[in-house]
Structure formats: C-alpha cells, structure tokens
Amino acid sequence: MSSADLPVPVPPRILDRAVPADRPAAQRHDLGRYLRQMRLPQLGETGQRRLAGARVAVIGAGGLGAPALTYLAAAGVGEITLFDPDTVDATNLHRQVLFTEADLGRSKAVAAAEHLRARSPQVTVRAVVETLTPANALELLPGHDLVLDGTDNFPTRYLASDACEILDLPLVWGSILAFSGQVSVFWGAGGRGVTYRDVHPVPPRPGEVPSCAEAGVLGMLCGVIGSTMAMEAVKVLAGMGDVLFGRLALYDALRARWDELPLARDPQRLPVTEIEDVMLTCGLPGPTGPARDEVTAAELPALLAAGARVIDIREERELAEGGMIAGAEHVPMGELLRGADHEVAGAVLYCAAGTRSASTQRALAERGIQVRSLAGGFDGLAGSGVEIQRL
C-alpha cells in the first residue's frame, strides 16, 4: 500500500484544534516565536495551531529521543509525554544531546523534561519514569495524537506498534546501528495501513541482532535520524507534505545517501486486537540467561594452547577495527547459522560482547550441534593474556 492509498494523514481529532483557552497564559503559544516556519505556506498559521493543540507521546529520551524531543518542543508541539525509566550515563553524552555531565545519574525523563521546559516554556512536558509495558500501554497512550518510538529494543517496538494499531494512532519509528539508520511512519488505519509487524513479522531471538552497545553508533547519526523522525511527526500533525506512510527510508552515513523501500500490509495478517508480550519470544537485548556452555576469558588461553577450535562470528568491519584472536577462524554469524554442520561441534564461538555467540550457541544446540560461547566476548579479553592479531 502506498501513502496515496491512505486518507489525508492528519488525525481528525486535531484538525483545526485551537490552543485550549483554559491553559495558563504562560503556556499559550506566542505565534511570533514560530514566525520563520509559519512563513512556509505548507504550514502557515493553521498548521502551527494544529501543532500547538497536539499531544505527542515519546518513548525513550536516548539517542533518537533526545533530538526528536528537542525539535518537537522547539516546533511548538503543545503537549509531550515522555516515557523513560533509565538514568543518564557517561556513555550517553556523545549522542544524547539533551544531557550534560550535571545530569549523570539522574532520571532521563525528568532531566529531559527540565531541559525542554527551559528551552520551550510554552510547551507542556510530562515525565513518566517507568517502562511502557503490555499491562499499562493501553492506559497510558490514549489521549495522544501520535506516538514517537525512540527505543532500542524489540519488545518495546512491537509493543508500541501493537498499542498504536489498537488505538488507531500514527507511530513514527526509527532505528540506528553503526552508520545506518531507518525511519518510517506506521498507521493501522482500520486494517488498511502498514505497521511494524508488516515489516518485521517475526520477533528476533535474543542476541540475533547486535545492539548499539555491541556494534557501536555514531552520535551524529542519532541527530540525522532523530530529526527526521521529528520532521515526520510534524508533517503528520500539521497535515503537510508526503509522510513516510508505506515507505521505509534508509540512511547510510558513510555514503551520505538516502534510499527508500516501498512497504505493503500483509493481506493475510489479521489486525492486532490485543497486546502480545514479546518478551516471551525475543526478550530485551542480550541473552535472557547464561548460555548452557560458556567459556571464560581466563579459561581461553589454556584451551587455545590445547588446540581448541575458536571461531570469530563478528562482521568483517568489526575485525578490521580491533583485530581478532590469534589462531581463530572467521565465520560471520549469519553464514555459520546457515551452513553449520557437526564439524563445528566443540568449537568456542565469540562475538563482541558475548550476546551473539550465546544466541548462536543456543540455536546450534537446538540442532544437536554443541559449541561453547566466550562469556564477555572479544571486548572482555583485556588482561586475559590472549594474543590478539591485528588485521
């Protein structure tokens, strides 16, 4: 389904809505603040008033949420509800541009809300310091006009999409990893539109897809994708432009290139009518428990000396960046899973942090192939005495 097959993408409940008269004067929008964007004929005063009357839920104040929140508030979106149970960590600061060192250890939701109010006092920002769950999503999201998902885990992505389909809310979604990003806008539209489940019908197994903590991410990429998400949200709310309905925008930072894939609803997929807890199927990033057969960094030197087979399952670019264990073989995770046979039995697998190797170990065990996973992965070898070969 193309975006042209859908009605004008402005939720009817915000069409021509004015700023409520009972709002405190300090929170009523001074349209002069937005004069530069109101001069755009596609937005104008009508679009600006739609933004002022809009209510947006943002899930996550991290790498994507930080720039998206900043621009939504700056654009004059009237009410923002921010969900984030996390606290600010030093590793966040290179990409989560809402925060400073003074925020370390603080609630992300509370700190972000304070910064947004300071920059845009006319915007109402509500901080919710809790996780959106299957038990509370249908209670916390109603009353909003749009949801923006800035999270980095699959259970919340499926949860947000399912809740929005049930509530008939448009969902702005984005994803980042290393130098690549994706953006789309999902809307069930009464069973006619595309949702996250049409793009990813089956939740991945734990560790099957590396996290940003494993593969890394460039801070500026968060700004590109997060700002694009804010742009799409404003287009939906103001009723302007060609929104990314039925399209997936793909950004490659190294090539400085945007590509696009058309999306279509699976005609066999029934509309979502209840929330599935996909924690039961894919879990949060990382293995849900210890692998059934692990090797520690301290044990590895003796195994190598004894001639144990060691297989690096990371991607080629990861090897180029940090090298690999001397004497190890390189077979990427996907290739190993596709072609593994009993010849790999007994091998020790490792990835960056142990997540993918633990997942692969379990997948192979289900096929009767017993291998072991290096706990902590390549990144946990510091001080172990294992020789590293630079490529």
Number of domains composing the chain: 2
Report the pLDDT value the prediction gives residue 315, as an integer from 0 to 100: 85
In a domain, 182, yes or no: yes
In a domain, 285, yes or no: no
Digit-coded pLDDT (tens) for 217-236: 788 999 999 999 999 999 99
Averaged confidence pLDDT in the chain:
84
Digit-coded pLDDT (tens) for 249-259: 999 999 899 99
Options 164, 222, 282, 351, the catalytic residue? 351
Mean pLDDT of 298-321: 88
Q: What is the β-pairing status of strands 372-374 and 294-295? A: parallel
Options 164, 212, 222, 282, the catalytic residue? 212
pLDDT at residue 215 is higher than 80 = no
Mean pLDDT of 22-48: 76
Spell out the long-range contacts of 361-369 with Cβ–Cβ below 8 A and sequence spacing 24 or more.
Answer: 361/291, 361/292, 361/293, 362/205, 362/287, 362/291, 362/292, 363/205, 363/337, 364/337, 364/340, 365/292, 365/293, 367/340, 368/342, 369/340, 369/341, 369/342, 369/344, 369/345
In a domain, 334, yes or no: yes
pLDDT at residue 322 is higher than 60 = yes
Q: What is the β-pairing status of strands 180-186 and 247-252? A: antiparallel
Q: Are residues 231 and 367 in the same domain?
A: no
- The reply to whether 351 belongs to the active site is yes
Q: Are residues 194 and 274 in the same domain?
A: yes
Q: Of 5-19, 90-104, 286-300, where does mean pLDDT reach its minimum?
A: 5-19
Q: Are residues 222 and 360 in the same domain?
A: no
Q: Are residues 276 and 346 in the same domain?
A: no
Q: Of 46-60, 233-247, 338-352, where does mean pLDDT reach its minimum?
A: 338-352
Report the pLDDT value the prediction gives residue 288, as an integer from 0 to 100: 34
- The reply to whether 164 belongs to the active site is no
**pTM recorded for the entire structure:** 0.68
